[in-house]
Amino acid sequence: MEILTEEKISTSNTTTDFLPLEGTDYVEFYVGNAKQAAHFYKTAFGFKSIAYAGPETGVKEKCSYVIRQNKLTFVLTTALKTDNVIADHVYKHGDGVKFLVLRVNDATNAWHETTKRGGKSFMEPKIFTDAQGEVIMSGIHTYGETVHLFIERKNYKGIFMPGFVEWKSNYNPTETGLQYVDHCVGNVGWNQMNKWVAFYEDVMGFKNILSFDDKDISTEYSALMSKVMSSGNGYVKFPINEPAEGKKKSQVEEYLDFYNGEGVQHVAIATKNIIETVTELQSRGVEFLKVPTSYYDTILDRVGHIDEDLKPLKELGILIDKDDEGYLLQIFTKPLQDRPTLFFEIIQRKGAKSFGKGNFKALFEALEREQALRGNL
Ligand code: FE2
């Protein structure tokens, strides 16, 4: 496993960051029923209603609901008719992430820089205006049918973007402490990981900051390989997983089967207090993967001192890992839809910049128990 130091990352990028990203602006999901999905995410995860677009606002073919919690914004979009690319997407993939939208200072330049390096255009730079100003968007394709949109909103003062109206709702459950997107993981097909590593390096100027092979990530039954790609300034991180040969079907293969191709496996969301956040989420019915309680018998021998009491972590099933710079606390939800595809990770970083390698084995064994229950192992 290779870990680049921060110094190396920043020096190597001062010369090559042709795509400075300000962070994840929003994540847009294509779903079968956006009205119900928005209600689920508001109720279970504590999002607030922000904006809406649909027939009432002059959009004929789709409905979109924008919800937000702190710096985390989701857009839930559904098709209104069958003859529609959104309907096709949902038919093929089920509910899933369509757009990982990255905020930039110059969306026109982002499109030129990435497409001239081989990025396949999804949308040429386009200006959207209303009385609140203008938003410029452009986009390129990434793995599967997933798209990176670049959004420039420095000249916009409205609630979300032109075409949307404020969504006023009397129902806005209290927040659960979710803060922002920490990272988004993509699952790609056999022998495709290095192709997509090269895409993020060549087209988007990212660096490979961590690599795990099947020796790091394998259980008795299955294996996977993973490489973590980071934007020049480190604000955006996209780990990429590829299945590896094992005795049985790996979790990445199960995903690829049910998503019908490559796509976003999980969105990791940061919290400042994982015990409070997960207590609240569990009380609202969010289901998490559970590791055996024996995990906690030796955990402090492995990670050393932590500020939190072990008891609530053990009761909630929160995992702990450490690296040279500190430790992290993390937990993974079960799939958020009936297909065993997209799930969320909740993460609290206490210095650590890594991704929980020390938990992979316990976690994947927990995943395989769920996979076996579905008859897919
Ligand atoms: Fe993760």
Fold that domain 178-374 belongs to in CATH: 2,3-Dihydroxybiphenyl 1,2-Dioxygenase; domain 1 (3.10.180)
Q: Do residues 212 and 268 touch, judged by C-beta distance below 8 A?
A: no
Give residue 12 CA to ligand 1 midpoint distance, Å.
25
What DSSP string runs through 117-134? TTPPEEEEEEEEEETTEE
Per DSSP, 337 falls in state: S
Domain boundaries, the chain: 14-166, 178-374
Beta bridge mates, 224: 243
CA 271, CA 265: separation in Å to the nearest integer?
20
Give residue 32 CA to ligand 1 midpoint distance, Å.
25
Beta strands in 107-251 (DSSP E): 121-130, 133-141, 147-152, 165-166, 178-187, 207-212, 223-230, 237-244
pLDDT at 2: 40
Residue whose token pair is 């914004």:
73
**Phi/psi of residue 109, each to 5°?**
-65, -40
Specify the pTM. Answer: 0.93
Strand, helix or coil for residue 357 = helix
pLDDT at 360: 82
What DSSP string runs through 156-169? B-SSS-TT-EE---
Q: b vs e for 308-327, b when ≥16 Cβ sit within 10 Å of the residue's Cβ?
A: beeeebeebbbbbbbbeeeb
Give residue 13 CA to ligand 1 midpoint distance, Å.
24
pLDDT at 4: 42
Give residue 184 CA to ligand 1 midpoint distance, Å.
7
Spatial CA neighbour of 204 closest among 258, 241, 240, 164: 240
Cβ count near 173 (within 10 Å): 14
Give residue 346 CA to ligand 1 midpoint distance, Å.
9
CA 124, CA 115: separation in Å to the nearest integer?
10
Max Cα–Cα distance, the chain, nearest Å: 60
> pLDDT for 216-259, tens place per residue?
777 777 778 899 999 999 999 999 999 888 777 888 999 999 99
Which of the residues in the chain have pLDDT under 70? 1-16
Q: Which residues keep their CB under 5 angstroms from ion ligand 1?
A: 268, 345
Spatial CA neighbour of 342 closest among 350, 330, 334, 354: 334
Decide if 14-166 and 178-374 have a common fold. yes
Give residue 266 CA to ligand 1 midpoint distance, Å.
7
Q: Do residues 377 and 249 touch, judged by C-beta distance below 8 A?
A: yes
CATH code of domain 14-166: 3.10.180.10
Question: What is the DSSP pairing of strand 147-152 with strand 96-103?
Answer: parallel
Give residue 277 CA to ligand 1 midpoint distance, Å.
17
Give residue 227 CA to ligand 1 midpoint distance, Å.
11
Length in residues, the chain: 377
Give residue 136 CA to ligand 1 midpoint distance, Å.
30
pLDDT at 15: 60
Give residue 274 CA to ligand 1 midpoint distance, Å.
15
pLDDT at 7: 38
Give residue 333 CA to ligand 1 midpoint distance, Å.
11
pLDDT at 16: 63
